[in-house]
Structure 1
Amino acid sequence: MNENKELDCHKFQTKVNDLLIRHRSILDILTKYQESNSRVNRSVAKTVTNCGCLEVTATKKEIPQEARLDELKNYTETHVEGGLCDNCREIVEMELGNNLFYVAALCNILGLDLQEVLEQEYKKIATLGRFNLS
């Protein structure tokens, strides 16, 4: 099996802790995390505006008042058409990875276990199912 397929949250979080030297302040981490969020957004926007491999076609969707919760997916869509080209995929993945780095760094500074955060969120959404509308 590919070594990267065996990577888990604990190994990732430990490596982030080992590598984060310069920006260990909670304020640095929060602002770097916010910056990385912006870079993710920008990289996705550029797939539309610079490359064109993705298109965004968004219009208001009418949802009938009598629609049941389990039918809502039938009335919504992603508004994304196309697919990431190899170049854009590489950039978006890089920016998402950077974002995950700062999520792990934030967990480290706050004494949280990223794996536990992930597991708790999974349990919550698995339990609440479609009622998890957050």
Structure 2
Amino acid sequence: MKDIIFDDFQNNVDASLIRHRSLLDIMTKLQESESRINRAIAKSVTNCGCISIEAKKQKLPSKDSDLSIENLSQCLETHIKGKLCENCRDIIESEIGTNLFYLTSLCNTLGLNLYDILLKEYDKINTLGKYNLR
């Protein structure tokens, strides 16, 4: 069922993309949409203030620690304090949706199936697990 949703989305994106069919147009629109996501997140900090960023060096446990790679993520921080307000969440979700549109357009132009890519990445994550180290 999920592959039908992905395929339907990919087909609808292909039918909706009228003006920016060139690979170069799609690449630059994808990059622009990524910048707009970053800008929306920055505005959540600097304009709205619903979240703040308190970045500092990540503190890793000492070599003598018995911390395993499975528990490493518990020691690392996101540096985000607070929670997105509804308005900022809506804006960021919209920008990510636009990004997905152009990412899917890129897949269409190159003859790639988004669902197949997702499955390959899913399998890689499941196979490598924590050792994927991203």
Shift of 1:84: 1.1
Q: Distance in 2 between matches of 1:111 and 1:28?
A: 16
- TM-score where L is the length of structure 2: 0.91
Q: Distance in 2 between matches of 1:105 and 1:8?
A: 16
Shift of 1:22: 0.7
Deviation per CA, 1:28-70, whole angstroms, max 9, x where unpaired?
0000000000000000111000000011111112212344312
Provide the residue aligned with 1:130 in structure 2. 130
Query: 2:63 pairs with 57, 65, 69, which one?
Result: 65
Deviation per CA, 1:93-115, whole angstroms, max 9, x where unpaired?
11000000001000000000101
Q: Distance in 1 between matches of 2:94 and 2:51?
A: 18
Deviation per CA, 1:74-105, whole angstroms, max 9, x where unpaired?
22011111111111111001100000000100
What is the number of residues matched between the two proteins? 129
**SS where residue 70 of structure 2 aligns?**
helix
Aligned alpha-carbon RMSD (Å) = 1.5
Structure 1 runs of 4+ with >6 Å offset: none
Q: Distance in 1 between matches of 2:25 and 2:74?
A: 42
Provide the residue aligned with 2:119 in structure 1. 119
Provide the residue aligned with 1:108 in structure 2. 108
Q: How does 1:40-55 map to 2 (within 5 A)?
A: 40-55=37-52
